[in-house]
Structure 1
Amino acid sequence: MHVAVGSMNPVKQRAVERTLAEFDAEIVPVGVDSGVSEQPSSVEETVTGAKKRARGALEATDADYGVGLEGGVTRFEYAPGVRLVMWACVTDGEHLEVASGPSLRLPDSVGARLDAGAELGPIMDDRLGTENVAEAEGAAGALTGGLTSRARALSEAVACAFGPFVTTRYEVE
């Protein structure tokens, strides 16, 4: 199985490698534009970015599948605060599947900075005194005390989006 990941971010690549380890997949990162803002601020924008990355990765390679991963922030009507969300898209060029990973509430002070137009990665770096937390544990790892990580959370989204391609329990339409 040859899989193109629409990002050069090593965390996104690790998420796909982790998910597809049992398939002995060849994973190739491809730098593609998400077509959305650096900090997607809705589920719609986050999913749009994941779709564009998946399609772009597939089109740029001879891979069997293109995978797009996008993290964003949003508010949900029935859950308090600003939430971190992660979405994945998988396509084989004919079919396209999207799925979400977990979401978690961000601290109110982080949400306030996001509402003012800042991006999550730099906010978390300031808060943690780090550089490039988005290419390490991510906000998910930092805010769960290591119970999860950005790669693990993204991996769940990838697994759910890949499901219809690797099992006969779906009819992919």
Structure 2
Amino acid sequence: MRIAVGSENPVKREATERATAALNATVATEAVDSGVSEQPMTDAETRKGARNRAERALAAGDYDLGVGLEGGVTSLDDDLLLTMWAAVTDGETVGVGGGPRLLLPDEIAERVRAGEELGPVMDDVVGAENVARANGAAGVLTGDLVNRESALRHALAGALGPFVTDYY
């Protein structure tokens, strides 16, 4: 089985490889556009980005499945939460799954609400570069109890449901 993940981010590739290890799949990356803003601000926009990436990754080559992984934020009451969505498609069926939601600290939430992207904000807060290509905001905010790869992997595991069970 050949799977394309719609991103060249190594964390997204690793999450896909780990989530699909039991399928004996070969995972490739395809640089595709999410079709949503750089900083998705709602669950709906983040899910749409994941689905767009999955569809575009599948269309980019000779693949059995396309995978889209998208991180964003969502408001709940007065809080802003980090959220992750995954989508998988074979061109006919689409599976969707969500990852954990993590409350963003006030300082970070205020900057994101003001229009900054979460990735560069996290880089600034921790004094590092490319946090999104490492443990991610999830890892920073949980002391690596959950990191970006594991959060994306669990979202993807949920999205794989229609392809690994008969319940859908």
Q: Same fold (TM over 0.5)?
A: yes
How much has 1:23 moved relative to structure 2?
Answer: 1.7
Verify: 1:115 aligned to 2:113, yes or no.
yes
How much has 1:43 moved relative to structure 2?
Answer: 0.6
Structure-2 separation of matches of 1:146 and 1:59? 35
Gaps of 5+ in 1: none
Pick which of 129-138 and 94-103 moved more: 94-103
Number of matched pairs: 168
CA RMSD, aligned part only? Answer: 0.8
Verify: 1:16 aligned to 2:16, yes or no.
yes
* Aligned residue among 83, 86, 98 for 1:85: 83
Secondary structure of the corresponding residue to residue 84 of structure 1: strand
Give the equivalent residue in structure 2 for 1:135. Answer: 133
Query: What TM-score, normalized by structure 2, do the two folds share?
Result: 0.98
Structure-1 separation of matches of 2:95 and 2:18? 19
Give the equivalent residue in structure 2 for 1:39. Answer: 39
Give the equivalent residue in structure 2 for 1:70. Answer: 70
Verify: 1:97 aligned to 2:118, yes or no.
no
Give the % identical residues.
57
Q: AA paired with 1:117?
A: G
Secondary structure of the corresponding residue to residue 11 of structure 1: helix
Structure-2 separation of matches of 1:68 and 1:11? 13
Which stretches of structure 1, 4 residues or longer, exceed 6 Å deviation after superposition? Answer: none
Query: What TM-score, normalized by structure 1, do the two folds share?
Result: 0.95
Gaps of 5+ in 2: none
